[in-house]
Structure 1
Amino acid sequence: MLKFWYSPGACSLAPHILLYEIGEPFEAIETPVSSGAHLTSEFTRLNPKNRVPVLATEGHVITELPAISAAIALRAPDLGLMGGSPMENVRVLEWLNWLSGTVRGQGFGCLWRPECFATAESAFESVKGQGQATIVESYQAIEQRIGDAHASGTSFTVVGCLPPRVLPLPSVRCARSGFGRTTLRPIRPAS
């Protein structure tokens, strides 16, 4: 059985949704980052990077959102969650890497954890401002790229599982098209 370590409200929501989408049984293990559950010695043995999400399957431990999302989607290839053609697959990978690296890593990383990008506390506000600017630019790019269509191809893919964050930024209209559409989809029953 698949095992999935996640933290409520974190980027682990996307692969959590995918696990329900494919309908395969799994064990969900709540690992709240807010309480430091990802820093325990037990979790560090599982993932020395001390990050969620983590997926364990058939003796393998998989980390990093794009890899976990692909691993889950490929368990049910008939659903086309990685795209319906080779080019759609490439576009899904492109989206996953950009959203994970730029939007989440650079944007939200700078905004929420400026100490990871600067050692001087006096620079923290500047780092947060850069993160905020990256988020705004990214969400504008998302809106321009997908409009009312799916993020990748002509159907629901793993990219559609990546929900937008609700931000206290008046200049950001959350990217709603193709993202967040997951809530309108029926949950597939577990096999």
Structure 2
Amino acid sequence: GLAFYDRLFDEMAQAGIKPLVTLSHYEMPYGLVKNYGGWANRAVIDHFEHYARTVFTRYQHKVALWLTFNEINMSLHAPFTGVGLAEESGEAEVYQAIHHQLVASARAVKACHSLIPEAKIGNMLLGGLVYPLTCQPQDMLQAMEENRRWMFFGDVQARGQYPGYMQRFFRDHNITIEMTESDA
């Protein structure tokens, strides 16, 4: 449990190493998948926030560098490990689960800054890049659109809203993201 990390962070401090802690690194607790259906269920946001606050409170004097989610954009290609959904889940369900992760990340960032004002925190993106098949305009446009789908997570994390190109993507693909006022 946490006692292991108590000892680990103490040893790291003695060795002059500053830890960078990732709160979620592809280890969606099975209980949250079984009982709630993974990140598709809004209730998981509250569980993650509780977990994050617990860890921030315990290690506020030992850790100043945090990641909320590792490679959060991998959920598009690995929905089970990323958001706890079956591989055959539909595109709309995956994007809804991703939305819940982004909200949870924002809440964790806010909680971290309230508990550890000097902390640095965000999420990690996988830096994949899609190259066009040819230099033809339609291939260039398709590659640009795919790259945007990979990287919109950073826009949401930094700006607190979906960029116009993703709103257009959702409209064009008949995807409705259920949001509440507290998501903003």
TM range (shorter): under 0.3
Structure with greater proportional helix content: 2
Larger radius of gyration: 2
Q: TM-score, normalised on structure 1?
A: 0.26
